[in-house]
Amino acid sequence: MATILQAFQKLHPGSAKLYAGSLTTFPSGVTHDIRHLTPFSIFIDHAKGSHKWDVDGNDIIDFVMGHGALFLGHSYPALVDAVSEQVRKGTHYGASHEQELRWGRLVQELVPSAEAVRFTSSGTEATLMAIRLARAYTGRDKILKFDYHFHGWHDSVVGARFAESDIPRSVGVPAATLSNTLSIPQNDIKLVEERLAQDDVACVILEPSGASWGTLPLTEHFLADLRETTRRYGTLLIFDEVVTGFRVSSGGVQKHFGISPDLTTLAKILAGGLPGGAVVGKGDILSLIEFRDDAQWNESRRIAHPGTYNANPLSAAAGTTMLSLIGDGQFHAQADALNSKLVAGLNRVLEKKAIPGCAYGLASYFHIALGQECPRPKAGIEWPWEDGNLPARTPLPIAVALKRALLNHGVDLMGMTGGFVSGVHKEGDIDSTIDAFEAAVGEMQAEGIL
Ligand code: PMP
């Protein structure tokens, strides 16, 4: 019988060929770290709804969903119409336009803490601006983040992939910059308090789902404790809701748990699958970007913010359409219900095959931890996880084998061990995915990988 790797190579000759060509153009043949897969990455030809088809004609149930941006799947008709119409009307006016105002108002309606909004072109740009705002507002340089929390790739937050940890690092980032970024383990409010007590931290930034979109979930009271502690020390609290915004609820984690940060960063679903991001939050903080009738302020105190593609009409058209469609929560109900079914099904397979591991998640995202014992959620899919009870990361060789084996069975995960369920996935997609998972882990057992 063919091994997982042999089957992968046999099923994807077209991708292998294109990848060989890509190696002469792109470092490692890819254009995003997360698309790097050995022995080659998969090349997609087209996509529709919850499926995509690769260049070899393989039909794949997609849980990457545009890195979490496609809450209504690929090429949702109303989004295609809105973007097509906008292309005909113009893609860049180099001026203000009504569509951006509609988009901003929708963000204010949905995100509870969004007193004011500033659009950027990506999530990385959003966290860059949020941190700059926090530094300018507080007059402090240091920022506090949590180990394994991802906030994009700019100098203040970058870490080495797969090893992002207590030592923020990346070749090419000046040591002086890194020395202003503190990173500590999540879920330990005493540690936060100790650090904030030095009165030099501008902001605490975190993924309010827990590290890596909830791969390491937060304990139940951590967000509320953080809110109270940051307030006490005059440190701003930034929720990075690039993934969780408009997903965990129509108003993100902050609406789901009723906790209000000072600033929030948004991207992905915000722009309906096109490029776009935003910083939203308290009006007096965002007012640092405003022009005033005061030359001295404008020249030396305000934060400058250009950006060719900020609120560009195409992203605004897609974003406005997306946010108007999902505001009532119906698509959330559908996606969340299917995700619960998926997580329960994956855990059933692990149980049945006596494989150490667990599946868990929140709302419409899921994670799979394999190769170690971890508690399976008893009811539903959600936290709270008790302290010290966190799922460990799946070892890389197991994760790679799972990614390949699932692709062989027509399922693509986000990264290697998780995924996003959209509002257009179907019951049949979930049933097929559970079957694919059973086949995949069975093959991994047969090869001694599990
Ligand atoms: N913050 C979080 C939580 C993210 O997951 C990401 C990207 N996955 C970013 C920021 C950066 O966003 P972008 O890729 O749009 O720059």
Cα(226)–Cα(207) distance, rounded to whole angstroms?
Answer: 12
Structural contact between residues 395 and 356, judged by C-beta atoms closer than 8 angstroms: no
Q: Is the domain defined by 77-326 classed in CATH 3.40.640.10? A: yes
Measured in Å, residue 102 CA sits from the centre of ligand 1 at: 24
Identify the CA nearest to 146 among candidates 224, 229, 220, 239. 239
Q: Report whether pLDDT(442) > 70.
A: yes
pTM of the model: 0.96
Could you report the per-residue pLDDT of 101-137, keeping only the tens digit for each? 999 999 999 999 999 999 999 999 999 999 999 999 9
Measured in Å, residue 395 CA sits from the centre of ligand 1 at: 23
Atom of ligand 1 nearest to the CA of 149: 3
SS (H, E, C) the chain: CCCHHHHHHHHCHHHHHHHHHHCCCCHHHCCCHHHCCCCCCCCEEEEEECEEEECCCCEEEECCHHHHCCCCCECCHHHHHHHHHHHHHCCCCCCCCHHHHHHHHHHHHHCCCCCEEEEECCHHHHHHHHHHHHHHHHCCCEEEEECCCCCCCCCCCCCCCCCCCCCCCCCCCCHHHHCCEEEECCCCHHHHHHHHCCCCEEEEEECCCEHHHHCEECCCCHHHHHHHHHHHCCCEEEEECCCCCCCCCCCHHHHHHCCCCCEEEECHHHHCCCCCEEEEECHHHHHHHCCCCCHHHHHHHCCCCCCCCCCCHHHHHHHHHHHHHHCCCHHHHHHHHHHHHHHHHHHHHHHHCCCCEEEEEECCEEEEEECCCCCCCCCCCCCCCCCCCCCCCCCHHHHHHHHHHHHHCCEECECCCEEECCCCCCHHHHHHHHHHHHHHHHHHHHCCCC
Atom 12 in ligand 1: residue holding the nearest Cα = 123
Measured in Å, residue 274 CA sits from the centre of ligand 1 at: 14
Instruction: Return the percentage of the chain with pLDDT > 70, whole number.
Output: 96
Atom 1 in ligand 1: residue holding the nearest Cα = 151
What's the confidence (pLDDT) of residue 372?
A: 86
| Domain spans in the chain, listed from the N-terminal domain onward | 4-74+329-446, 77-326
Residue whose CB lies within 8 A of the most ligand 1 atoms, among 150, 164, 246, for a mutation test:
150
Residues touching ligand 1 (Cβ under 6 Å) are 67, 122-124, 127, 150-152, 207, 240, 242-243, 267, 277
Measured in Å, residue 255 CA sits from the centre of ligand 1 at: 20
Measured in Å, residue 150 CA sits from the centre of ligand 1 at: 7
CA atoms within 13 A on the CB side of 211: 20
Could you report the per-residue pLDDT of 167-216, keeping only the tens digit for each? 555 788 888 888 899 888 899 999 999 999 999 999 999 999 999 999 98
What's the confidence (pLDDT) of residue 138?
A: 98
- First and final C-alpha spacing in the chain: 18
Atom of ligand 1 nearest to the CA of 267: 15
Superfamily (CATH) of domain 4-74+329-446: Aspartate Aminotransferase, domain 1 (3.90.1150.10)
Atom of ligand 1 nearest to the CA of 277: 15
Cα(390)–Cα(219) distance, rounded to whole angstroms?
Answer: 9
Could you report the per-residue pLDDT of 299-320, keeping only the tens digit for each? 999 999 999 999 999 999 999 9
Q: Report whether pLDDT(244) > 90.
A: yes
166: left (phi over 0), alpha (psi -120 to 50) or beta: alpha
Q: Report whether pLDDT(333) > 50.
A: yes
Cα(403)–Cα(400) distance, rounded to whole angstroms?
Answer: 5
Measured in Å, residue 267 CA sits from the centre of ligand 1 at: 7
Structural contact between residues 384 and 28, judged by C-beta atoms closer than 8 angstroms: no
Q: Report whether pLDDT(388) > 70.
A: no
Lowest-confidence pick of 325-329, 371-375, 380-384: 380-384
| CATH fold match for the domains 4-74+329-446 and 77-326 | no
Atom of ligand 1 nearest to the CA of 124: 16
